[in-house]
Amino acid sequence: MAEPTPAAGGGGLPQFDLAQWPGQIFWMLVIFAVLYVLFSRVFVPRVAGAIDAREDKISGDIGDAKRMRDAARAELEAAAGELAIARARAQKVALDAQTEAKAAAAARQAVEEAKLAEALAVAEARIAAARAEAMSHVRTIAIETAQAMISRLTGAEATSAEVERVLDTALPS
């Protein structure tokens, strides 16, 4: 095998050898054409299909999410409406129960006040009777006291009739 001499090839890199450029350019164009065909017919459509499928999936998911959000909002509004209705019913029931309790308490209070008024009337009647009884004895006690005082102060005995006559003139009835 003969080695190339430095005078024949210039001794440098083959890329810089102008004699080899037509072959390199030919193979570069062949490889470029093959790669272009592969990319344009195989790889790019597959990637584009994957991107389109991904976009469709994302769009579908976003649409589903919007529909779910709208459904959730509708359910929330319905639940809020039902809650407001239930709250109004509960307030009405509480108000009715409160009114009923007040009416029952007023009825019990009226019954108790009637019992108390009756007991008070009975007590007042007993007090009036006791006062009348006591007042009827006051005259007798006054007569007996006056007799005792006269007896003690003067030593003479006064009769009930004499003391009553003096009391009648001193105290008008």
Q: What is the pTM of this model?
A: 0.40
Which pLDDT score, from 0 to 100, does residue 167 have? 81
Q: Would you kindly state where each structural domain of the chain is located, as residue ranges?
A: 24-48+58-170
Which pLDDT score, from 0 to 100, does residue 123 have? 94
Question: What average pLDDT does the segment 74-101 reach?
Answer: 95
Which pLDDT score, from 0 to 100, does residue 172 have? 65
**pLDDT per residue as tens digits for the range 32-42:** 999 999 999 99
CA 30-34-36 angle, 5° bins: 115
At 1, is the pLDDT very low, low, confident or very high (cuts 50, 70, 90)? very low
Question: What average pLDDT does the segment 115-142 reach?
Answer: 90
Dihedral sign, Cα of residue 127, residue 129, residue 134, residue 135? positive
Question: What average pLDDT does the segment 153-161 reach?
Answer: 85
Which pLDDT score, from 0 to 100, does residue 4 have? 52
The answer to whether 115 and 128 are in contact (CB under 8 A) is: no
Question: What average pLDDT does the segment 65-79 reach?
Answer: 95
Question: What average pLDDT does the segment 12-35 reach?
Answer: 87
Any residues with CB less than 8 A from the CB of 158 and at least 6 apart, and which?
146, 147, 150, 151
